Amino acid sequence: MNASVTKDLISQIVVVMGVCIGTWMLFVEPKAAALAEREAENAADRALLMAADFDRLRKVASRAPGIRESAAEIQARSALARDSAALYSRIMQLAQNQNILVRNLQPRAGDSGNADVLATRIDMKIEGDYEQLADFVESLRSVDAYLRVVSLSLVPIDSEEVKAATMQVSCEALAFRIPPELLHLGEQTQ
């Protein structure tokens, strides 16, 4: 009786092993082969990246028209938003040029929602006649910065002699962080 149990047990083990080997060959082996192929491709890609000729890459980048100049322009236009004293001085100068009375000029920290963008909010209350106020808002476009009007409200001043109004204006001055690599793109390094 012992011999027949051993014989049955051995035959069942052989069947189970056959099923396992067949399953492995059917499902696992193709995936393992594909994984090995992808790992070889990744290794080849890494080798290409490591062997890249960076001087040639810089020459190609220097041919990209205007990237460095555009980056420098963005950085220059962002400077005014980072220097709040200069920004307020420029706004006061525009108001003075338009004969606008500035009642209040308040800075507020803005949140652009992006670490690469600094937003400085400026709330102001100004007075003048309608044409002067319109000219002032138009003159904000002449500021060499990324300055945008966020909100504006106009309330007439009751006066029979002058057609004047009080204006609440909220602006945002934006400053963008430029990666230093863009500013030096295409330059030769010694």
Q: The domain that contains 142 carries what CATH number?
A: 3.30.70.60
Stretch (H or E) spanning 115: none
Identify which has the larger pLDDT, 19 or 114. 19
% of the chain at pLDDT higher than 90: 18
pLDDT tier at 126 (50, 70, 90 boundaries)? very high
Q: In the predicted model, what is the mean pLDDT of residues 142-168?
A: 86
Asked if residue 73 belongs to a domain, the reply is: no
Asked if residue 7 belongs to a domain, the reply is: no
The domain tally of the chain equals 1
Q: In the predicted model, what is the mean pLDDT of residues 77-101?
A: 89
User: What angle (nearest 5°) sits at the alpha carbon of residue 35, between those of residues 31 and 36?
Assistant: 120
Identify which has the larger pLDDT, 89 or 3. 89
Asked if residue 185 belongs to a domain, the reply is: no
Predicted local confidence at residue 190, as pLDDT: 45
Predicted local confidence at residue 152, as pLDDT: 92
Predicted local confidence at residue 124, as pLDDT: 94
Q: CB 50: neighbour CB atoms within 10 A?
A: 7
Asked if residue 186 belongs to a domain, the reply is: no
Q: In the predicted model, what is the mean pLDDT of residues 69-83?
A: 85
Asked if residue 30 belongs to a domain, the reply is: no
CA distance 88 to 135: 18
Write down the mean pLDDT value for the chain. Answer: 80
Which residues lie below 8 Å from residue 132, measured CB to CB, with a gap of 6+? 98, 99, 100
* Domain region containing 152: 81-176
